[in-house]
Amino acid sequence: MTTNVLIYIIIIAVIICVCWRLLSNRVSLPCPAWLGWLVELDNPIFRDNRAKVIISHLDIQPGMKILDFGCGPGRLTIPIARIIGPSSNVTAFDIQEAMLERVRTKAANEHLGNIETVRGDAGIIKLGTNQYDRALLVTVLGEVPDKKSLLKEIFNSLKPGGILCVTETIADPHFQTRKTVQSLASEAGLVAINFFGSRVSFSMTFRKP
Protein backbone atom coordinates (compact mmCIF):
# COMPACT_ATOMS: atom_id res chain seq x y z
CA MET A 1 0.00 0.00 0.00
CA THR A 2 1.50 3.37 -1.02
CA THR A 3 1.80 6.26 1.40
CA ASN A 4 -0.72 8.34 -0.58
CA VAL A 5 -3.36 5.59 -0.45
CA LEU A 6 -2.85 5.22 3.31
CA ILE A 7 -3.24 8.97 3.78
CA TYR A 8 -6.48 8.97 1.77
CA ILE A 9 -7.85 6.10 3.87
CA ILE A 10 -7.01 7.94 7.10
CA ILE A 11 -8.64 11.15 5.83
CA ILE A 12 -11.80 9.28 4.83
CA ALA A 13 -11.90 7.53 8.18
CA VAL A 14 -11.55 10.84 10.05
CA ILE A 15 -14.36 12.44 8.03
CA ILE A 16 -16.64 9.47 8.63
CA CYS A 17 -15.89 9.49 12.37
CA VAL A 18 -16.58 13.23 12.69
CA CYS A 19 -19.91 12.94 10.86
CA TRP A 20 -20.83 9.84 12.84
CA ARG A 21 -19.99 11.57 16.13
CA LEU A 22 -22.18 14.57 15.25
CA LEU A 23 -25.12 12.33 14.37
CA SER A 24 -24.61 10.27 17.51
CA ASN A 25 -25.15 13.35 19.65
CA ARG A 26 -28.81 13.05 18.67
CA VAL A 27 -29.36 9.30 18.50
CA SER A 28 -27.42 6.13 19.34
CA LEU A 29 -26.08 4.71 16.09
CA PRO A 30 -24.30 1.34 15.89
CA CYS A 31 -21.71 1.09 13.18
CA PRO A 32 -23.68 0.36 9.97
CA ALA A 33 -22.87 -2.87 8.18
CA TRP A 34 -21.72 -1.04 5.06
CA LEU A 35 -18.91 0.44 7.17
CA GLY A 36 -17.80 -3.01 8.28
CA TRP A 37 -14.61 -2.68 6.24
CA LEU A 38 -13.61 0.30 8.39
CA VAL A 39 -14.01 -1.39 11.77
CA GLU A 40 -12.22 -4.49 10.46
CA LEU A 41 -9.02 -2.47 10.12
CA ASP A 42 -6.67 -2.10 13.05
CA ASN A 43 -6.39 1.58 13.92
CA PRO A 44 -3.09 2.92 12.52
CA ILE A 45 -2.96 5.63 15.21
CA PHE A 46 -4.19 4.02 18.43
CA ARG A 47 -2.19 0.88 19.21
CA ASP A 48 -4.42 0.06 22.17
CA ASN A 49 -7.39 -0.55 19.86
CA ARG A 50 -5.64 -3.22 17.80
CA ALA A 51 -7.06 -6.73 17.96
CA LYS A 52 -3.85 -8.45 19.01
CA VAL A 53 -3.24 -5.94 21.80
CA ILE A 54 -6.78 -6.20 23.19
CA ILE A 55 -6.67 -10.00 23.16
CA SER A 56 -3.32 -9.97 24.97
CA HIS A 57 -4.99 -8.39 28.02
CA LEU A 58 -7.31 -11.37 28.54
CA ASP A 59 -4.97 -14.36 28.89
CA ILE A 60 -7.28 -16.45 26.71
CA GLN A 61 -6.53 -20.17 26.84
CA PRO A 62 -7.70 -23.14 24.76
CA GLY A 63 -11.04 -24.47 25.97
CA MET A 64 -12.33 -21.15 27.32
CA LYS A 65 -15.79 -19.90 26.43
CA ILE A 66 -15.77 -16.29 25.22
CA LEU A 67 -18.43 -13.60 24.64
CA ASP A 68 -17.68 -10.98 21.99
CA PHE A 69 -20.55 -8.57 22.57
CA GLY A 70 -21.09 -6.12 19.71
CA CYS A 71 -18.75 -8.22 17.60
CA GLY A 72 -19.32 -6.33 14.35
CA PRO A 73 -17.65 -8.14 11.43
CA GLY A 74 -15.55 -10.31 13.77
CA ARG A 75 -12.30 -8.39 14.05
CA LEU A 76 -11.67 -10.08 17.41
CA THR A 77 -14.03 -13.04 17.10
CA ILE A 78 -11.98 -14.79 14.43
CA PRO A 79 -8.53 -14.61 16.11
CA ILE A 80 -10.08 -15.61 19.44
CA ALA A 81 -11.72 -18.64 17.82
CA ARG A 82 -8.31 -19.72 16.56
CA ILE A 83 -6.85 -19.48 20.09
CA ILE A 84 -9.53 -21.38 22.03
CA GLY A 85 -9.65 -24.27 19.57
CA PRO A 86 -12.51 -26.60 18.63
CA SER A 87 -13.25 -27.79 22.17
CA SER A 88 -15.00 -24.52 23.10
CA ASN A 89 -16.70 -21.62 21.38
CA VAL A 90 -16.97 -17.87 20.92
CA THR A 91 -20.42 -16.27 21.08
CA ALA A 92 -20.49 -13.44 18.55
CA PHE A 93 -23.36 -11.16 19.58
CA ASP A 94 -24.52 -8.24 17.44
CA ILE A 95 -27.69 -6.30 16.68
CA GLN A 96 -27.10 -6.38 12.91
CA GLU A 97 -27.61 -9.55 10.90
CA ALA A 98 -25.37 -8.22 8.12
CA MET A 99 -22.45 -8.01 10.56
CA LEU A 100 -23.06 -11.55 11.76
CA GLU A 101 -23.17 -12.77 8.17
CA ARG A 102 -19.67 -11.36 7.69
CA VAL A 103 -18.54 -13.29 10.76
CA ARG A 104 -20.06 -16.51 9.43
CA THR A 105 -18.46 -16.02 6.02
CA LYS A 106 -15.01 -15.47 7.52
CA ALA A 107 -15.43 -18.43 9.86
CA ALA A 108 -16.40 -20.67 6.93
CA ASN A 109 -13.42 -19.47 4.90
CA GLU A 110 -11.09 -20.45 7.76
CA HIS A 111 -13.00 -23.67 8.57
CA LEU A 112 -13.74 -22.47 12.10
CA GLY A 113 -16.66 -24.36 13.57
CA ASN A 114 -16.46 -22.94 17.09
CA ILE A 115 -18.27 -19.62 16.56
CA GLU A 116 -21.90 -19.16 17.58
CA THR A 117 -23.58 -16.06 16.14
CA VAL A 118 -26.44 -14.47 18.07
CA ARG A 119 -28.53 -11.55 16.88
CA GLY A 120 -30.25 -9.47 19.52
CA ASP A 121 -31.13 -6.05 20.86
CA ALA A 122 -28.97 -4.93 23.74
CA GLY A 123 -32.14 -3.99 25.60
CA ILE A 124 -33.45 -7.56 25.47
CA ILE A 125 -30.51 -9.77 26.36
CA LYS A 126 -30.53 -13.35 27.55
CA LEU A 127 -26.92 -14.40 27.96
CA GLY A 128 -27.45 -17.00 30.66
CA THR A 129 -25.73 -17.34 34.04
CA ASN A 130 -22.12 -18.36 34.72
CA GLN A 131 -21.52 -19.13 31.05
CA TYR A 132 -18.34 -17.32 30.00
CA ASP A 133 -14.70 -17.22 31.06
CA ARG A 134 -14.09 -13.94 29.22
CA ALA A 135 -16.21 -11.16 27.71
CA LEU A 136 -15.34 -8.23 25.47
CA LEU A 137 -16.95 -4.85 24.85
CA VAL A 138 -14.82 -3.19 22.17
CA THR A 139 -16.00 0.35 21.37
CA VAL A 140 -19.60 -0.73 21.88
CA LEU A 141 -20.60 0.33 25.40
CA GLY A 142 -21.59 3.84 24.27
CA GLU A 143 -23.96 2.43 21.64
CA VAL A 144 -26.16 0.81 24.28
CA PRO A 145 -28.88 3.07 25.77
CA ASP A 146 -29.18 1.12 29.05
CA LYS A 147 -25.53 0.61 29.94
CA LYS A 148 -26.24 -0.39 33.54
CA SER A 149 -28.51 -3.26 32.50
CA LEU A 150 -25.99 -4.43 29.91
CA LEU A 151 -23.12 -4.60 32.38
CA LYS A 152 -25.27 -6.35 34.96
CA GLU A 153 -26.28 -8.91 32.34
CA ILE A 154 -22.64 -9.47 31.39
CA PHE A 155 -21.73 -9.75 35.10
CA ASN A 156 -24.33 -12.51 35.48
CA SER A 157 -23.13 -14.28 32.33
CA LEU A 158 -19.52 -14.47 33.52
CA LYS A 159 -18.31 -17.41 35.56
CA PRO A 160 -16.91 -16.55 39.02
CA GLY A 161 -13.42 -15.24 38.35
CA GLY A 162 -14.36 -14.43 34.75
CA ILE A 163 -12.94 -11.30 33.15
CA LEU A 164 -14.53 -8.49 31.14
CA CYS A 165 -12.40 -6.25 28.90
CA VAL A 166 -13.83 -2.86 27.92
CA THR A 167 -12.01 -1.00 25.14
CA GLU A 168 -12.63 2.63 24.22
CA THR A 169 -10.98 5.03 21.77
CA ILE A 170 -11.62 8.72 21.17
CA ALA A 171 -11.94 8.00 17.44
CA ASP A 172 -15.22 6.22 18.17
CA PRO A 173 -18.31 8.53 18.19
CA HIS A 174 -19.67 6.78 21.30
CA PHE A 175 -16.44 7.15 23.29
CA GLN A 176 -16.79 6.52 27.03
CA THR A 177 -14.26 7.93 29.50
CA ARG A 178 -12.26 5.84 31.95
CA LYS A 179 -14.24 7.35 34.83
CA THR A 180 -17.57 6.39 33.24
CA VAL A 181 -16.46 2.84 32.46
CA GLN A 182 -15.08 2.38 35.97
CA SER A 183 -18.27 3.68 37.58
CA LEU A 184 -20.61 1.52 35.48
CA ALA A 185 -18.55 -1.62 35.96
CA SER A 186 -18.25 -1.14 39.71
CA GLU A 187 -21.99 -0.57 40.04
CA ALA A 188 -22.56 -3.88 38.24
CA GLY A 189 -20.38 -5.66 40.80
CA LEU A 190 -17.20 -6.01 38.73
CA VAL A 191 -13.78 -5.41 40.29
CA ALA A 192 -11.16 -3.45 38.35
CA ILE A 193 -7.93 -5.34 37.57
CA ASN A 194 -5.89 -3.33 35.06
CA PHE A 195 -5.84 -0.24 32.90
CA PHE A 196 -3.92 -0.19 29.61
CA GLY A 197 -3.31 2.80 27.36
CA SER A 198 -4.13 6.47 27.82
CA ARG A 199 -7.11 8.72 28.49
CA VAL A 200 -8.03 8.79 24.79
CA SER A 201 -7.48 5.12 23.90
CA PHE A 202 -7.56 2.38 26.50
CA SER A 203 -8.65 -1.03 27.66
CA MET A 204 -9.82 -1.80 31.20
CA THR A 205 -10.18 -5.30 32.61
CA PHE A 206 -12.59 -6.27 35.37
CA ARG A 207 -13.12 -9.52 37.28
CA LYS A 208 -16.31 -11.06 38.59
CA PRO A 209 -15.62 -11.99 42.23
Can you give the pLDDT at residue 24?
47
Can you give the pLDDT at residue 56?
95
- Angle between the 77-84 and 97-109 helix axes, to the nearest 10 degrees? 40
Mean local confidence (pLDDT), 49-75: 94
Residue 206 pairs with which residues in a beta bridge? 164, 192
Q: Could you tell me the residue range of the domain that residue 119 belongs to?
A: 3-207
Residue 199 has pLDDT above 60, yes or no: yes
Q: What is the pLDDT of residues 155-171, one digit of tens each?
A: 999 999 999 999 999 88
Residue 19: count of CB within 10 angstroms of its CB: 11
71: which residues sit within 8 A by CB, 6+ positions away?
77, 92, 93, 94, 99, 100, 103
Q: Tell me the pTM.
A: 0.81
Number of domains forming the structure of the chain: 1
Residue 180 has pLDDT above 90, yes or no: yes
Average per-residue pLDDT in the chain?
A: 85
CATH at 13: 3.40.50.150
Can you give the pLDDT at residue 31?
57
Q: What is the pLDDT of residues 7-60, one digit of tens each?
A: 666 666 556 555 555 454 444 555 555 455 455 566 666 677 789 999 999 999
